Amino acid sequence: MSKIILTGDRPTGRLHIGHYVGSLRRRVELQNSGEYDKTYIMIADAQALTDNMDNPEKVRENIIEVALDYMSCGLDPEKSNLFIQSQISELCELTFYYMDLVTVSRLQRNPTVKSEIQMRNFEASIPVGFFTYPISQAADITAFKATTVPVGGDQLPMIEQCREIVHKFNSEYAPDKPVLVEPEALLPQNEACMRLPGTDGKAKMSKSLGNCIYLSDPAEEVSKKIMSMYTDPLHLQVSDPGHIEGNTVFTYLDAFCKPEHFDRYLKDYANLDELKAHYRRGGLGDVKVKRFLEKIMQETLEPIRNRRKELEKDIPAIYEILRKGSEVAREAAAQTLSEVKSAMRINYFEDAELIRRQSEKYQA
């Protein structure tokens, strides 16, 4: 069986370092690994509209931002098919049919939907499109017969629900020869990457809280955000023992620091464990740890920033990449939709046997 990647993001803003460690970095590695037959990366504008129906301009404006962020991180249109969700109308058709396979109570139990409803204060008036977006996400994944979906931890319930839909579809409509493929989630390497907190230590990174470091932030901005980062409120003097847990600077180090960084920037320590041990013991100041983190972050972000500057010089070329990518994606989705419709017995005009049989019934 071929190995196929599909994943994507909602275009509601520029991408930040949470996206990077949660999934982007991994996508680029997978793309370059040569192990996958096909990689699809989708800008999920239709999904973004499910909770931004009153702000289509925001979604429209951010498509190019996400595309630029993708490519500056190293997603290469020669190797990965970049496309825009709304341009693939087959996804809507698939969603409509999958809706028959899912109950309202199952959607209500989806933990991601549940917490998002709370976050958006939707309780009293949930848009139906938003409520059912796990079904549309299953369409996104299955349309490309994706085997592998690299995502952050918050998306696990989506993949689980998708697998259930696939299972139900295949056993209901295609028991002998499965049409749809059950995908696997590919989660980030560690807990820190799974849920990178904001620079203020809050669990959720959000534009309105001003606690995110964006991939496109200028170097000075990155520096400022790191120097004002939340650490251990009980670590008042350098000599005091410090806490690692819930200390954002160390969480970021868990996500970004590699062994070679000590060699390059902090030779007094052999590895992160040693640095943590010293902090716990006392005698290690926050500023020193922050400076180290800053070097690592700048080293990571600088090439991304530079590539973005180059890409920004030819915006029409980026749209053209998305247009071509959407065409390719559409062909793949159309193929799956046709198999789905056959399995569901709604392919009347391709079924000469049906027409002959019905005709005989009346000619007899």
Selected range binding ligand TRP among 31-39, 147-155, 187-195, 275-283, rule: CB under 6 A: 147-155
Comparing CB distances to ligand TRP, the nearer of 5 and 296 is 5
Comparing CB distances to ligand TRP, the nearer of 49 and 229 is 49
- Taking the complex as a whole, the smallest distance from the CB of residue 16 to ligand TRP amounts, in Å, to 12
Phi/psi class of residue 302: alpha, beta or left (left: φ > 0; alpha: ψ in -120 to 50)?
alpha
Q: How far is CA 68 from CA 31, 39, 87, 233, 250, in A?
A: 17, 17, 19, 37, 29
Selected range binding ligand TRP among 95-103, 133-141, 220-228, 296-304, rule: CB under 6 A: 133-141
Selected range binding ligand TRP among 28-36, 136-144, 293-301, 311-319, rule: CB under 6 A: 136-144
Q: Which residues pair with 214 in a beta bridge?
A: 16
In degrees to the nearest 10, what's the CA dihedral of 32, 35, 38, 41?
-50
- Taking the complex as a whole, the smallest distance from the CB of residue 337 to ligand TRP amounts, in Å, to 17
Residues 6+ apart with CB under 8 A from 26: 150, 186, 188, 189
323 CB neighbour count, 10 Å cutoff: 12
Q: What's the DSSP call for residue 100?
A: G
Residues 6+ apart with CB under 8 A from 192: 21, 251, 252, 254, 255
Residue 230's SS3 state is: coil
Site string for ligand TRP, 84-123 (x = CB under 6 A): ----------------------------------------
User: Is residue 140 within the footprint of ligand TRP (CB under 6 A)?
Assistant: yes
363 CB neighbour count, 10 Å cutoff: 6
Q: Give the rounded distance of the alpha carbon of 51 from its chain centre.
A: 17
Round to whole Å and give the CA distance between 285 and 297. Answer: 19
User: Is residue 151 within the footprint of ligand TRP (CB under 6 A)?
Assistant: yes
User: Is residue 134 within the footprint of ligand TRP (CB under 6 A)?
Assistant: no
Phi/psi class of residue 201: alpha, beta or left (left: φ > 0; alpha: ψ in -120 to 50)?
left
Selected range binding ligand TRP among 6-14, 169-177, 189-197, 340-348, rule: CB under 6 A: 6-14
Site string for ligand TRP, 309-348 (x = CB under 6 A): ----------------------------------------
Residue 136's SS3 state is: helix
Selected range binding ligand TRP among 68-76, 122-130, 135-143, 272-280, rule: CB under 6 A: 135-143
Site for ligand TRP in 21-50 (CB under 6 A): 44, 47
Q: Kindly determine how many residues on this chain lie close enough to bind ligand TRP according to the rule CB under 6 A.
A: 13
DSSP per-residue letters across 176-218: SS--S---EEE--SSHHHHTPPPTTS-SS--TTTT---BTT--
CB 222 within 8 Å of CB 298: yes
- Taking the complex as a whole, the smallest distance from the CB of residue 150 to ligand TRP amounts, in Å, to 8
Site for ligand TRP in 153-172 (CB under 6 A): 155
Q: Which residue of 5, 9, 214, 266 would you call a contact of ligand TRP, by CB under 6 A?
A: 9
- Taking the complex as a whole, the smallest distance from the CB of residue 233 to ligand TRP amounts, in Å, to 32
- Taking the complex as a whole, the smallest distance from the CB of residue 248 to ligand TRP amounts, in Å, to 22
Q: Which residue of 4, 5, 10, 180 would you call a contact of ligand TRP, by CB under 6 A?
A: 10
Site for ligand TRP in 188-247 (CB under 6 A): none
User: Is residue 149 within the footprint of ligand TRP (CB under 6 A)?
Assistant: yes
Short-list 152, 159, 151, CA closest to 182: 159
Residue 125's SS3 state is: coil
Comparing CB distances to ligand TRP, the nearer of 10 and 235 is 10
Q: Which residues bind ligand TRP (CB under 6 A)?
A: 6-10, 44, 47, 137, 140-141, 149, 151, 155
